[in-house]
Structure 1
């Protein structure tokens, strides 16, 4: 029997027939650009596509076959960034009436990479006008909130069934520049410096990544974003880890999937999912049979 799928306009939830404790999140590989988004943009779609973790979903192709439930954003990251909190925006990037609710921006928000991406360094503003209340609402209601509700639901089902849940948040990254922490790493494993999961999961993922014979770092320069911070609750047996994969490991110079290398990473990721599904944290107890 094929895995079941719960589609929507903006997200997909692919559940295997026999689901294990692992939930895979793929928030930034969506390639659907709603017409309202294109109408609001002052730049070409090709510019908006630069926000994507391009073709990262292909790395998760075999994850459901390995027992994971896969939650994937189908709408593009340009609509809303599911790895940012709803309050993560720079005040200058939104309409005046909204500015009081966005009062403490960090470095990424000031660079235009908030819950709604608003600027890219080489292209300037992405939208014809500042984000107003109606614009923010449709973006959050369209993809951001449904995505996190889906993650919460699937993690709760996994924890109740297996006594624990494992969230693997999958991303891709450009090569880390010289002079930046983590330079030379091809895979970065982030656990929010131990806050989003217990060490057994981080050590498992780091070990599996090292088996690829590539340089691996932990929390440098990516310690984990909003998704693992929001959903990782080790005290409640919900363990969350973020994985960033250098895009040059699986894309051609034209930013298309290299068939052989993408398949190689997909096999590796499926093996990782299987190993994480077999690991059993101490004190994990199923809550109820389902």
Structure 2
């Protein structure tokens, strides 16, 4: 089966002119290039099918390459393929053929309709008119998913080779969370799999930057970090991974998917965050010390 992205890139790596730090920014859910064949298979209108996008997150973190760190971003949408899942996390009800035991068909994400190939978008709206074939799944997973992760691994390996340490910032957005009792809903959720994927001083620093801007920050609840965070985050081997979830209401209208006046404010804050991370001597994270500011050159 020919790739749905045969005539355009499914994702891209935007590299800095000069690599200044071992930080890698990854935006796996902000893609908004919908192949015509996929739209023909879908039962949703163009606005409804976009509800699962981390809309504009790649733009919010878009200054990273200009400041000295690479950005990997998807062009394919999350409704089409989710690279923040296991490679073969598939819902058997979605396919014409029966799925063998080699597929993970029983995960909580599959049960929720949000496997590697999602069954639904937000508000539990089914995506497809009919069933898919396994050949379709193979085209997306072997042709796009695996190359995407190979590109991400390459960036992290280059960071390790050049600096002795690597930091993955996994960039996401979330729907506005309602209040829970007396606790105000967070604006930012940082996920480090409960302290297992990222050095505490780094996560603390990122939380401080957001909190100093007047935002409410939560750690690991309700988002502790997905497949990318838990797969690549290996602090004992010098690779740290931190997931950042930004509430969409801060920068866009969640119904119309249009940016509003808060967009530039959030982008400016993230520019400062990126500059701070690039300005740190992150090699100290390989030990137990807190990250130190680089000496002025």
Q: Secondary structure of 2:80's partner? A: coil
Q: Secondary structure of 1:188's partner? A: strand
**Match for residue 82 of structure 2?**
81
> Structure 1: how far apart are the matches of 2:36 and 2:181?
38
Q: How does 1:231-246 map to 2 (within 5 A)?
A: 231-246=232-247
Query: What do the CA deviations read for 1:105-133 (whole angstroms, capped 9, x no partner)?
Result: 23332121111111246464311333321
Q: How does 1:1-290 map to 2 (within 5 A)?
A: 9-19=9-19, 20-103=21-104, 105-120=106-121, 122=123, 124-179=125-180, 184-252=185-253, 254-258=256-260, 260-277=261-278, 278-282=280-284, 284=286
Task: Give 5+ residue unaligned stretches, structure 2.
Answer: 1-6, 288-297
After superposition, the Cα gap between the structure-2 partners of 1:247 and 1:124, relative to the gap in structure 1 and judged at 3 Å, is: closer
- Tell me the C-alpha RMSD between the 2 structures: 2.4
> Structure 2: how far apart are the matches of 1:206 and 1:199?
10
Query: What do the CA deviations read for 1:62-82 (whole angstroms, capped 9, x no partner)?
Result: 121221100000111122001
After superposition, the Cα gap between the structure-2 partners of 1:182 and 1:269, relative to the gap in structure 1 and judged at 3 Å, is: farther
Displacement of 1:269 after TM fit? 1.5
> Structure 2: how far apart are the matches of 1:235 and 1:18?
28
Q: What is the TM-score of this pair, normalised by structure 1?
A: 0.88
Q: What is the TM-score of this pair, normalised by structure 2?
A: 0.86
After superposition, the Cα gap between the structure-2 partners of 1:181 and 1:132, relative to the gap in structure 1 and judged at 3 Å, is: farther
Aligned partners of 1:58 and 1:262 also within 8 Å: no
> Structure 2: how far apart are the matches of 1:51 and 1:161?
36
Aligned partners of 2:209 and 2:273 also within 8 Å: yes
Query: What do the CA deviations read for 1:19-51 (whole angstroms, capped 9, x no partner)?
Result: 121110001111101122112222223221111
Displacement of 1:282 after TM fit? 3.1
Aligned residues: 278
**Match for residue 3 of structure 1?**
none
Displacement of 1:263 after TM fit? 2.1
Displacement of 1:90 after TM fit? 3.2
Aligned partners of 1:181 and 1:221 also within 8 Å: no
> Structure 1: how far apart are the matches of 2:153 and 2:182?
32
Aligned partners of 1:90 and 1:102 also within 8 Å: no
